[in-house]
Amino acid sequence: MKIYDKFLAVPGFKASGIYCGIKTDKEKKDLSLIYSEGKAVSAATFTTNKVKAAPVIINMEHVNNYNTQAIIINSGNANACTGKKGFEDAENTIAATAKELNLSSKEILVASTGIIGVPMPMNKLIAGIEEAAKSLSYNGFEDAARGILTTDSSTKTVSIELTIDNKPIVISGMAKGSGMIHPNMATMLGFILTNISINKEILNKALKDSVNDSFNMISVDGDTSTNDMVIVLANGKANNKTIDNMDENYVKFKKALDIVSTELAKMIAQDGEGATKLLEVDLSGGKTKEDAKLCAKSIITSSLVKSAFFGSDANWGRILCSMGYSGGDFNPENVEIFFESNKGKIQIAKDGMGLPFDEAFAKDILLEEHIKIIIDLKDGKYSAKAWGCDLSYDYVKINGSYRT
């Protein structure tokens, strides 16, 4: 199994990314198209927000189709809270894509990200779809990865090569997300492509389980978006024996999918709006898996915890406090807390109480860009990981003028 920090072309797929005029900056692409030359099965997870954008609601129906061959994605406009017209615009976007690719509408998924409550500039979008279809290329994935970005500082891509049934398998993923990021998905889009042959129901299980341990374990600011989704397409071009049960080939595929999902999720957390540090919670000793997850997620969601890490302040009391209101069951008197980075590791709490520690050494550890918060609840055998970022002054600056 080989891991790459780029999007490797997946056999049978093409992509494109262009500027069509949704964004004001012509240097920034705002429309991406992903296309499978042959039939493909799909699976997806969607935002848990009650306020769902039109593309999300439409996709929740279209993803049930047994063939999905294209995804059309725009950035700069979320097409959320846009009423009946928003649904019509999303449906027309799909129809225009279907026409260009000679597909039926139900064989296409649509995604949007950007400003909420603004009508879609359909004339620009329809013209852009025609150009995007003409621009489809086996080498178009980097352009497509740029076309889905909003406030992101860079593209987020990762790929894995592995072998199943002596057939070369590629799993490649791209994502966007920087703000409005919170567990149970976020204002993020994730698109994963693979040439593996796999049953649709089994693919759906693999994705949902993978998302629960990756994208659903990140937080930037505690806000769950109206538009987020993760979609995976598998076109079967590898010609391996179709995975239709949870056998050893499924386990091998699922392990690779987990790596792709986790790496993309970590990139989103690290690229949080205004962030200067990636925070990783590594929690063990939970009574149940759910207890461990609740505690870990609560830590990386806490504004006070995040602010302390921005200031490189070893304020461990905020960590214990955040676990206390998480809903997770644990005994506070058992908890141990450590901080770790490239500068070293230090224990700062034991049995739920603070320890004397070297403040200068702790400061050095917390000044690094990637910091691990290691927790042992000492209550059981279950563990969980979660990822987030610090909360800086720039987060307020960015979101104080996001619309204008």
Domain 278-400 falls under CATH 3.90.1150.10: no
pLDDT on residue 227: 78
Model confidence pLDDT, tens digit, residues 261-305: 999 999 988 877 777 899 999 999 999 999 999 999 999 989 999
Model confidence pLDDT, tens digit, residues 86-144: 999 999 999 999 999 999 999 999 999 988 899 999 999 999 999 999 999 999 999 99
Question: 182 pLDDT exceeds 60?
Answer: no
Contact status, residue 294 vs residue 386, Cβ threshold 8 Å:
no
pLDDT band at residue 150, thresholds of 50, 70 and 90? confident
Model confidence pLDDT, tens digit, residues 335-394: 999 999 999 999 999 999 999 999 999 999 999 999 999 999 999 999 999 998 888 777
Model confidence pLDDT, tens digit, residues 9-60: 999 999 999 999 999 899 999 999 999 999 999 999 998 788 889 999 999 9
Question: 211 pLDDT exceeds 70?
Answer: yes
* Pairwise pLDDT comparison (243 vs 46), residue with the higher score: 243
- Please calculate the CA angle 93-66-85 and round it to the nearest 5 degrees: 25
Q: For strand 2-4 and strand 156-164, is the pairing parallel, antiparallel, or unpaired? A: antiparallel
pLDDT band at residue 402, thresholds of 50, 70 and 90? low
- The stretch 156-177 carries a mean pLDDT of 97
pLDDT on residue 269: 83
Task: Outline which parts of the chain fall under CATH 3.10.20.340.
Answer: 278-400
Structure tokens at 39: 């039939």
Question: 165 pLDDT exceeds 60?
Answer: yes
In angstroms, how far is the first alpha carbon of the chain from the final one? 46
CA 151 distance to own-chain centroid: 15
pLDDT on residue 177: 81
What is the C-alpha separation between 270 and 158, in angstroms, rounded?
15
Q: Report the side by side order of strands in the sheet with 229-234.
A: 2-4, 156-164, 167-176, 189-194, 229-234, 41-46
Does residue 113 carry a catalytic annotation? no
Task: Outline which parts of the chain fall under CATH 3.60.70.12.
Answer: 2-270
pLDDT on residue 84: 96
pLDDT on residue 223: 52
Model confidence pLDDT, tens digit, residues 342-351: 999 999 999 9
Q: For strand 13-18 and strand 31-36, is the pairing parallel, antiparallel, or unpaired? A: antiparallel
pTM of the model: 0.87
Residue 106: CB atoms within 10 A of its CB come to 17
pLDDT band at residue 185, thresholds of 50, 70 and 90? very low
Q: Give the residues across from 14 on adjacent strands.
A: 35
In a 10 Å sphere around its CB, with 0-12 CB exposed, 13-18 middle and 19+ buried, how is residue 2 labelled? exposed
pLDDT on residue 186: 41
Structure tokens at 179: 């703000």
346 contacts: CB under 8 Å, gap ≥ 6: 338, 339, 340, 357, 358, 361, 362, 365
Question: 311 pLDDT exceeds 60?
Answer: yes
Contact status, residue 380 vs residue 334, Cβ threshold 8 Å:
no
User: What does the mean pLDDT of the chain come to?
Assistant: 92
| CATH class for the region spanning 2-270 | alpha beta
pLDDT on residue 270: 81
pLDDT on residue 220: 64
- The catalytic residue among 93, 187, 224, 301 is 187
pLDDT on residue 31: 98
273 contacts: CB under 8 Å, gap ≥ 6: 151, 178, 179, 220, 221, 394, 395, 398, 399
pLDDT band at residue 228, thresholds of 50, 70 and 90? confident
